[in-house]
Amino acid sequence: MKHILSLAFTLTHPYFDDVIEFQGEKIRLTQYGTNFDVELTKRLIEQYDGHVDVIALSGLPPVIKFKGGEFIHPTSLELKHHAKESLIVDGQMLKDVYLPWAMRQFVLKNQSILSKKRIGIYSASFQVNLLEVLEEFQNQILMADPFYFLRLPFVLTSSEQLNLFMKLGGNLFRKMKLKRSQVADFSPKKNYPRALQNFLNCDIFVGAMNTVNLMDLDHLKDKILIVDFATPEFEVKLRAHGVAKVVTCLPHLDVGPCMNYAMFEALLQAKSPKTAHLDENDLLGWIQRLQLGPELLELNDKEDSEKTKFAFIIHPLNKKHLFYHPKLKWFTKNFPQVLEPLENTAEDLISMLPGIFYGRIHGVKSEKNGKEVEGLIYSATETPRKIMEKDPEVVYRRLVRLAEQASLAGARIIGLGAYTKIVGDAGITVARRSPIPVTTGNSLSAASTLWAAKVAVFKMGMVQEKDEVMQGVCMVVGATGSIGAVSAKLLAQKWKKIILVAPRAYKLLELKSEIAQLAPHAEILVATDPTPYLSECHLVITTTSSRGEKVLDIDLVRPGCVICDVSRPFDITEEEALKRPDVMVIASGEVELPGTVKITVNLGLHGNVVYACLAETALLAMEGKLESFTLSRNINYEKVIEIDRLAREHGVRLSHIMGHQGIISDEEFELCRGHALEALSKKSDIIRT
């Protein structure tokens, strides 16, 4: 029977001597915990050398590799070469081959957990193989190596900084003695400098079980921990300290107590007919044969212990909004006469200030799962004009800074409002740099606009519905744009006839082909000019980038038509809308959040009514779908469908229909309908005569 000796350098586990079964073969496994005692470790190696097939050494510092070199602690080197006959393995080759691949596969399947997060690595010098993978997925990495090794109160934030630190610190590391007191405890009770406080506020921590087990674990409450492996005893300890989740890179193998990389590599070595050490190809074969992969263990439900927080960034939409901040209420109340002369100066001065925490939204509660979420509202200080005047890079940095503040305050996702989601690449760069997921909210904005259009059409009462299909004609102007295409695909499934209008004929034909598959019942026409069809349309959606150029002649529009103007600036000006009291021009649909909502800031709306983009952020928090859901100017049709479904499930509903001058009342709809019926009657009389 083959025999393996396991020496756990950092553990004090009692001695055991068992026979285990691995891949159909019985193997004797003997383990000692040597508790940092180098001489005891040497004596045990000498005692068993030649009497066991493989010696597994765990808990020793690995080889530290950096650009241009590598080094290994002298004690590690001495112990690894102390045996004269038996093979000694430390699991490092298995880690080097297995960990990067396993972690990458895990992140790809769990991007909502391990992508675009703030991740703290206790000793990245020992975890370089994991560092490369975590950086690839746009995480913000904080490395505590200076504190871990030398008790220096700062952190590293890039591979370049880590590489320099390892080069400069190599000689010091070689001279350090391996003892329990050398392991930093990271106790949150101590008064650390800001850099280390930021480290302790990370969402996720990465370390080796042998060293994490020696630390103060209070800072891991409600956090996620990634470790190389975890014993059942360690999992119990983590659960007791309130750790939310633990990702164990080496799964439970059920082949023996306290299985670690060194012991597992020793098992593979013992099973091999080779008398020399296994190479990478041998290990790759075993990894595939055993179908190894990380495990995610849910230890404590963070959602049970506290509300999920989401954040949202707004900004003053005009100069008057500059004085909406609660701390300026006294000024606006007592000195209203001086506001207008101050507006231009205030716009210039305030735009130079960094963004601020503005207030909270309480009481948002899902109708689907009863989950309550809390909103943190931040405000950039620029008006739309100031945002668009600035270099996008400057705006990016300001938004990322607010995202970092929100993350430190416990927010797990952040939304961009108004012009903050328009500037530059529309959220992509901000999401890449943010420690938490970012969404523009445009998916729900598109969905809620169509909700508003549907309600407006029903209120006008000009179209009959049969078998859930509107027996009328709708048109989408700007149909090949991102919002236009999504709107067209959704409307075609609910309308008998749809007209697609855009300047490029080939794109229209491509879109028509797509829509025909989604809505085979619909009659689909394409045109590069809306004019010939305006007189027959009951609903027109305009979503162009005309920037003020006239896209349709409102004088030709059918009486009773609803025009839903999604474009900013508007395709239909307020003056044009006033020319046709028999046509209903709407701008958007605002929504209300479920629950007993209390909003402590002035969003320019009433009650629990919020902008749809803010509601999307809250929805994702209620669903637990913490990811960058909507980014860029391209809106995904499937995501609009998904967010529409989530809104209905959680209880986010249309609240008001907005026009150029604010909320459109039922009385205004009735008045417009009356004008439309009168105009249609006159047309009918003219035709008869």
Kindly indicate the confidence band of residue 570, based on its pLDDT and cuts at 50, 70 and 90: confident
- The pair phi, psi for residue 433, each rounded to 5°, is -95, -15
What gap in Å lies between CA 447 and CA 612, rounded to an integer? Answer: 9
List the single range of 102-116, 278-292, 576-590, 621-635 with lowest mean pLDDT.
102-116
> H or E element: which one contains 578?
helix 574-579
Kindly indicate the confidence band of residue 113, based on its pLDDT and cuts at 50, 70 and 90: confident
Strands (E), 249-321: 295-298, 308-314
Strands 465-466 and 469-477: what pairing? antiparallel
What is the per-residue pLDDT for 305? 47
Closest C-alpha to 382, from 350, 409, 430, 407: 350
**Residues forming beta bridges with residue 362, ordered by sequence position:** 598
Q: Domain segments of the chain: what residues?
A: 2-91
Tell whether the torsion through CA atoms of 508, 509, 510 and 511 is positive or negative.
positive
What is the per-residue pLDDT for 180? 61
CA dihedral 601, 603, 609, 615 (to 10 degrees): -100
DSSP codes joined into one string, 651-684: T-EEEEEEETTEEPPHHHHHHHHHHHHHHHHHHH
List the single range of 63-77, 170-184, 308-322, 669-683 with lowest mean pLDDT.
170-184
Q: Are 387 and 315 in contact (CB under 8 A)?
A: yes
Q: Is the pLDDT of residue 321 over 70?
A: no
Alpha-helix residue ranges (DSSP H) falling in 176-208: 194-200
**Residues forming beta bridges with residue 669, ordered by sequence position:** none
Q: Are 144 and 184 in contact (CB under 8 A)?
A: yes
What is the per-residue pLDDT for 329? 58
Closest C-alpha to 413, from 384, 381, 445, 376: 376
Rounded to an integer, the average pLDDT of 183-209 is 82
Compute the C-alpha angle 317/320/321, nearest 5°: 45
What is the per-residue pLDDT for 490? 95
Query: What is the DSSP-derived secondary structure letter of residue 338?
Result: G
The pLDDT tens digits for 351-393 are 788 888 989 999 999 999 999 999 999 999 888 888 888 999 9
**In 3-state terms, what secondary structure has residue 415?**
strand
User: What residue has token string 């700062």?
Assistant: 154
Kindly indicate the confidence band of residue 99, based on its pLDDT and cuts at 50, 70 and 90: confident
User: What residue has token string 């039922």?
Assistant: 666
Rounded to an integer, the average pLDDT of 515-523 is 95
The pLDDT tens digits for 121-154 are 998 888 887 888 888 877 789 999 999 888 888 8
Mean pLDDT of the chain: 86
Our measurement of the distance from residue 433's CA atom to the centroid of its chain's CA atoms, rounded to an integer in Å, reads 11
Half-sphere exposure of 627 (CA within 13 A, CB side): 16
Q: Residue 553, Cβ neighbours under 10 Å: how many? A: 11
Strands 16-22 and 25-33: what pairing? antiparallel
What gap in Å lies between CA 218 and CA 224, rounded to an integer? Answer: 13
What is the per-residue pLDDT for 620? 96
What is the per-residue pLDDT for 471? 97
What gap in Å lies between CA 261 and CA 95, rounded to an integer? Answer: 7
Strands 465-466 and 438-439: what pairing? unpaired
The pLDDT tens digits for 526-563 are 999 999 999 999 999 998 866 567 889 999 999 999 99
Compute the C-alpha angle 173/174/176, nearest 5°: 65
Q: Are 632 and 426 in contact (CB under 8 A)?
A: yes
What gap in Å lies between CA 515 and CA 489, rounded to an integer? Answer: 6
What gap in Å lies between CA 6 and CA 56, rounded to an integer? Answer: 5
**Residues forming beta bridges with residue 245, ordered by sequence position:** 224, 298
Q: Is the pLDDT of residue 21 over 50?
A: yes
Strands (E), 430-494: 438-439, 465-466, 469-477
Residue type, 110: N
Distances (CA, A) of 137 to 108, 140, 369, 427, 430: 9, 9, 30, 17, 14
Cβ contacts of residue 149 below 8 Å, gap of 6+?
A: 123, 125, 169, 172, 173, 176
Q: What's the start-to-end Cα distance of the chain, in Å? A: 109
Tell whether the torsion through CA atoms of 241, 246, 252 and 258 is positive or negative.
negative
The pLDDT tens digits for 612-669 are 999 999 999 999 898 999 999 888 899 999 999 999 999 999 988 988 888 899 999 9
What gap in Å lies between CA 459 and CA 664, rounded to an integer? Answer: 11
The pLDDT tens digits for 338-356 are 556 666 666 677 778 888 8
List the single range of 188-197, 394-403, 484-493 with lowest mean pLDDT.
188-197
User: What residue has token string 């586990």?
Assistant: 13
User: What residue has token string 């939204």?
Assistant: 361
Kindly indicate the confidence band of residue 155, based on its pLDDT and cuts at 50, 70 and 90: very high
What gap in Å lies between CA 101 and CA 423, rounded to an integer? Answer: 37
The pLDDT tens digits for 257-315 are 667 888 888 888 888 887 788 888 888 888 888 888 888 888 876 554 457 899 999 98
**In 3-state terms, what secondary structure has residue 617?**
helix
Burial of 10-21, coded b for 16+ CB within 10 Å and e otherwise, reads bbebeeeeeebe
Burial of 502-514, coded b for 16+ CB within 10 Å and e otherwise, reads beeeebbeebbee
Helices (H) and strands (E) in the chain, counts: 25, 30
What is the per-residue pLDDT for 668? 96
Kindly indicate the confidence band of residue 567, based on its pLDDT and cuts at 50, 70 and 90: confident
